[in-house]
Chain A
Amino acid sequence: MSREKKRIGVYVCHCGGNISNYVDINRIIEAIKEYPGVVVAKDFMFMCSDAGQQMIIDDIKEEKLDGVVVAACSPKLHEMTFRNAVKRGGLNEYLFYHVNIREHCSWAHMHDRELATMKAISHIISGIEHVKLASALEKISVKAERSVLIIGGGIAGLRAAVDLATMGFNVVIVEKSPFVGGNVAKWWKVFPSGEEGEDIVMELIDEVKRSKNITIITNAEVESVEGFVGNFDVSIKIKPRYVLRDHPKMREAIEICPIEVPNEYDFGLTKRKAIYYPPYKAFYPEIPAIDDKACNRCGKCVEIVGDAIDLSQKEEIFKVRVGAIIVATGFKPYEPRKGEFGYGESPYILTLPQLERILSTIPKDSEKLIINGREISKICFIYCVGSRQQPKGGGKVNEYCSRYCCTSTIFTSLKIADRFPNIKIYHLYRDIRTYGSYELFYLEAQRRKMIFIKYPDDSPPTVSITDEKLLVKVKDFAARGKELIIKPDLIVLAVGMEPNDAEKIQEILKISIGSDGFLREAHPKLRPVDTLRAGVFIAGTIQGPKTISETLASASSAAAKAVSLLVRGRVELEPTTAYVDPNKCNLSKKCMEVCPSGAISVKSYPGIGERAWVNEILCLGCGACTAVCPSEAIQLKTLSTHQIKNMIREAAKIWVR
């Protein structure tokens, strides 16, 4: 459609005086009605009212308009209203342009009617010039798979999987270790309910098992992800498990294995065999795995269970196409450096997760708490280990607060006090962050006469060990920093959370990491589970430290967002994207340098050769490419450089008349 031939309708709103009291509407109409291309120029009290909208619809039909300009309030208010009206009139919505003469004119310049009117005219003229070169566009619609890949089989991944499956989606869970279950399965009693961690996980695993459309792939890692929202091609590397199925004599086979290595499922407290189960009940699948690195292929287990084990099993690659991806790789507990508060130098200095493992194995009827042969009568908890570290000397520190540790530590101490009321408990803290109703646990701990000592931010307690005897020196903030000495039987370090595999995920999925090392959300408030890559979501503690309840909320949120995205089986995108005219492109590749989303590549056009090409699904529509193209070959569909130039030129002329 050439520029001169368009038949354009221009509508000026009085906004009940909000506009017409401060600009001269008659002069505006006079100025634009003869303007080239304008066939209708009308004004009305309220264009946004039904009567105003109907006026536009009737004119589109009767006057055969193929362009509409409405000059009214801010487009943020009513652009959608008029777009829909234009659509109802049978005109493509992209042939409409909304001009702001209220916030930008009448309301800002209430004391200069003359110039406010001139300004309004210049705005309307630029709007007309926009419409003259506008073309009819359709929303971009792509077919989308109704399936989701979930990376990580802890509570976040399992919860999201169950949610998605209930909504009728197919789910693939990829778990790096040989068993799903995650960190919660290792916990003794969890706040606020006091249930055992493994019970919570077990229920989720049962739900997953009941669901027909969830596939769990363990001992596996995502190797690469190609494609885009709605159509991600995922390649998964599955390491050999060697154990093919269960066998009645499996326990015997494990027994006979001659190899012992530290058990990571017990945070290194115990040893396990090269063929093993986790030391708790909440795991899946219910067959053991053989640790590829530890196993020496002695074959003793095969002698017992026969072909239930196949030591010749090889690595496999599994490919799947999914519509969306949820990252739920979770956290790992901070591992203190050797010697940090005496860690690693005494069997009586443990981290909180290690203590949880020990507590979950103590016999129900035991009257004394015995750890590594010592009866415990005095425990000292040290808070903020691996969290809230002061930045110093350039090295990487965890400046963030890990959120769960205060409540978790106090809760665990209460549960210990329930079982063993005679144990004396000390808490050495900086700030007690039992937020919300968790405060009740803090009050309960105080009520039970546990001792809370605040230590100064810049002067943490020190731990020394003589003949297995522990000695803690702590400065008491509330007593002008006076040094106190505690001689506990056990020191427990309340370690923080660190992101698990964030860097690897970043590399594979090209999503960003925040300065704290956790994966970064698209917007902390508006889009807390989205990432900047469309179709990729983050759930649970990989985004930042969370409690169980918060993790579940985040997992369900991510699932809800994935459902919203894919439920129609198609993804619709605004056509505010760039395109290349291959006849003009001289392959400067400057557009590719400035594209923020990697949407531009080089493609071979038949009969023309290699030229730049825009993947409109990846294009965000910022227009940066159109500013750098030497031949103006790349353009935004909704706002070309030609359009902008005409808008500026014709608006400028208004001011020199």
Chain B
Amino acid sequence: MEASLTLGDMGFRVLLVEKTPSIGGKMALLSKVFPTLDCSSCIVTPKMAAVQHHSNIDLMVLSEVSEVIKRVKGDFDVTIRKKPTFVDIDKCTGCTWCEKVCPVVISDEFNFDLRGRKAAYIAFDIAVPKKAVIDIDNCLLCGICESICPADAINFLDTEKIFRIRVKTIIVATGYKLFDPREKTEFKYGKFRNVITSIQLDRLLAPTSPFGGVARPLDFKEPEKIAFLLCVGSRDLKIGYPLCSQVCCMYSIKQAQLVLGALPLAETTIFYIDIRAFGKGFEEFYNQSKLMGVRFVKGQVDMLKEKEDGSICISYFDYESGEMKNEKFDLVVLAVGFRPQNEIVNAFKNAKLELDEYGWIKVIDPNRSPNSTSIPGVFVAGTASGPKDIPDSILDANSAAMAAAKYIRKLERGGAGV
């Protein structure tokens, strides 16, 4: 979004293609952000609205780039497949009636399975565009929504549409996905109900929390002792992924602070390898959390056991004493790391968009152009090239916009052909 706004402001026409029903990415779903504890949605919503209203930006949601062909002149032919939403986007007003009457309830990916959603739905409260979509795989085709829609916007005959356009340059900002902690079987995620992921905790802490506050998923009890396990799926040679995910330390410290805000009597413990508070204001934030009473233990967690009352016993190696220790917690939060979301590379047909060893889009020349990829004219922005926090992603996006703008200027002067 940031890259397209900056390019739009520079006077270039931008087409923003988004796979899900709403722009905004993962940030629209978080509670507050470190180290300022600003509200996450408040930061991202103005950007979402700005994208929507920008005269130089065209937005395509529920769409995927299926083919990219680089031309000899240096520009690109792009094929975009727009999935059917079964809702006429021009007529839909986002009134949510269809969502209310839809009889289907399935698990909600936007709340990370913490609660259900309907088959006819609006992605989330602050979605842009705020239009309904119908998840046809789960739809019963009962037609109730069609009959109730006051705007007559529902159309079950909607089909996939294919668009072909020519663009001068491409910015890949496909982001990341979260590590699936089921891969780390010793943490029993999915087996022990009171072992949750950090993003689930973030949803519990958000103003739009599905449980209306912090509670254990098992029994809705307010947890008294909470453990945060860092580096879940990061810096882990056992699962063949040695990289650090860069943000988990800080978001866990943030969450520990927010938990203490919501539940002042709670005890929070963070199990870490190294605390990587390296960004602006981060170390100060880390120190503040120590003052607030967050406990930090340099330790290697060995295994978890579930007690009868649902609490979790953690066995860990404590570096400071050099001993194995056991401790009981009400809730265990896994600080899951980032994984690449790189399916886009398959769209590049006649030039290869290279990945690094771990699947992130490879930055070819980080010390000259932080956005350069293996294809001249294709630039990478944000977490598509590796984990980044929000300020770094914003800087990276603007820098990609600049690189793209310069590429267009070069094309205009006829100097960037392949």
Contact = CB atoms under 8 A, between A and B. Distances in A.
Do A and B touch (CB < 8 Å)?
Answer: yes
Interface of A: 15-18, 45-46, 48-50, 76-77, 80, 163, 166-168, 190, 192-193, 195, 200, 203, 387-388, 399-401, 403, 406, 431-440, 443, 454, 477-480, 514-516, 518, 524-526, 528-529, 543-545, 548-550, 552-557, 559-561, 563-564, 567-568
Most chain B CB within 10 A, of A163, A190, A553, is at A553
A479 B323 CA distance: 10
A18 B368 contact: no
Contacts of A554: 395, 399
Contacts of A190: 367
A560 B38 contact: no
A325 to B, nearest CB: 17
B221 to A, nearest CB: 30
Contacts of A524: 36, 280-281, 391
A192 B357 CA distance: 15
A49 B367 contact: no
B349 interface: no
Given A15-B95, A163-B406, A550-B392, A436 B244 contact: yes
Interface string B406-418: 1001100000000
B402 A559 contact: yes
B374 to A, nearest CB: 15
A543 B95 contact: no
Interface stretch (B16-24, B45-53, B203-211): B45-53
Contacts of A561: 6, 398
Contact of A77 (B9, B130, B360, B401): B130
B150 A17 contact: yes
A568 B281 contact: no
Nearest to A197: B367
Contacts of A77: 130
Interface in B251-289: 274-284, 287
B240 interface: no
B1 to A, nearest CB: 11
Contact of B49 (A76, A439, A516): A76
B153 to A, nearest CB: 10
A549 B370 CA distance: 6
User: Closest 10 interchain pairs by CB?
Assistant: A557-B398, A564-B9, A16-B95, A556-B399, A544-B280, A431-B274, A553-B399, A556-B402, A16-B150, A560-B402
Contacts of A454: 298, 319
Most chain B CB within 10 A, of A443, A516, A557, A568, is at A557
B276 A433 contact: yes
Contacts of A80: 49, 53
B283 A388 contact: yes
Contact of A435 (B244, B371, B394): B244
Interface string B378-396: 0000000011101110111
A26 B319 CA distance: 72
Contacts of B279: 401, 403, 544
13 contacts: A16-B95, A77-B130, A192-B366, A400-B281, A431-B277, A433-B276, A436-B243, A524-B281, A524-B391, A528-B394, A529-B398, A544-B280, A553-B371
A203 B368 contact: yes
Most chain A CB within 10 A, of B276, B278, B366, B391, is at B278
Contacts of A400: 280-284
Given A45-B150, A524-B281, A550-B395, A434 B402 contact: no
A438 B388 CA distance: 13
Contacts of B97: 16-17
A543 B392 CA distance: 12
Contact of B409 (A49, A50, A166, A436): A166
Given A15-B93, A552-B370, A163 B36 contact: no
Interface in B1-39: 6, 9-11, 33, 36, 38
A560 B405 contact: yes
A550 B281 CA distance: 16
Given A80-B53, A167-B405, A548-B367, 9 more contacts: A401-B278, A432-B274, A435-B278, A436-B244, A479-B322, A516-B284, A525-B38, A525-B43, A554-B399
A526 B36 contact: no
A556 B398 contact: yes
A518 to B, nearest CB: 7
A16 B93 contact: yes
Nearest to B149: A16
Contact of B390 (A166, A525, A529, A563): A525
A564 B11 CA distance: 8
B322 A516 contact: no
A514 B281 CA distance: 9
Contacts of B237: 443
**B interface SS class:** loop
Interface of B: 6, 9-11, 33, 36, 38, 43, 45-47, 49, 53, 90-91, 93, 95-97, 130, 150-151, 235, 237, 242-246, 274-284, 287, 298, 319-322, 356, 358, 360, 363, 365-371, 386-388, 390-392, 394-396, 398-399, 401-403, 405-406, 409-410
Contact of B319 (A46, A388, A478, A559): A478
A526 B43 contact: yes
A16 B154 CA distance: 15
B244 A439 contact: yes
A477 B368 contact: no
Nearest to B401: A560
Contact of A433 (B151, B278, B284, B391): B278
B284 A399 contact: yes
A439 B395 contact: no
Contacts of B363: 549
A597 to B, nearest CB: 21
Contacts of B392: 550, 553
Most chain B CB within 10 A, of A190, A433, A440, A514, is at A433
B91 A49 contact: yes
Contacts of B277: 401, 431, 433
B86 to A, nearest CB: 18
Contact of B243 (A166, A439, A526, A529): A439
Contact of B391 (A200, A516, A528): A528
Nearest to B286: A401
Contacts of B49: 76, 80
Nearest to B388: A436
Nearest to B234: A439
Contacts of B90: 50
Nearest to B405: A167
A167 B407 CA distance: 10
A49 B151 contact: yes
B244 A434 contact: yes
Nearest to B36: A524
A553 B97 CA distance: 45
A553 B370 contact: yes
Most chain A CB within 10 A, of B279, B287, B363, B402, is at B402
Most chain B CB within 10 A, of A45, A436, A516, is at A436
Nearest to A481: B320
Given A524-B281, A529-B395, A563 B405 contact: yes
Contacts of B401: 560
B95 A17 contact: yes
A438 to B, nearest CB: 8
A478 B368 contact: no
A553 B396 contact: yes
Nearest to A160: B402
A206 B394 CA distance: 29
A479 B298 CA distance: 12
Contacts of A406: 278
Nearest to A45: B150
Contacts of A15: 93, 95
A168 B410 CA distance: 12
Contact of B47 (A76, A200, A516, A526): A526
A193 B93 contact: no
Contacts of B398: 529, 553, 556-557, 560-561
B370 A550 contact: yes
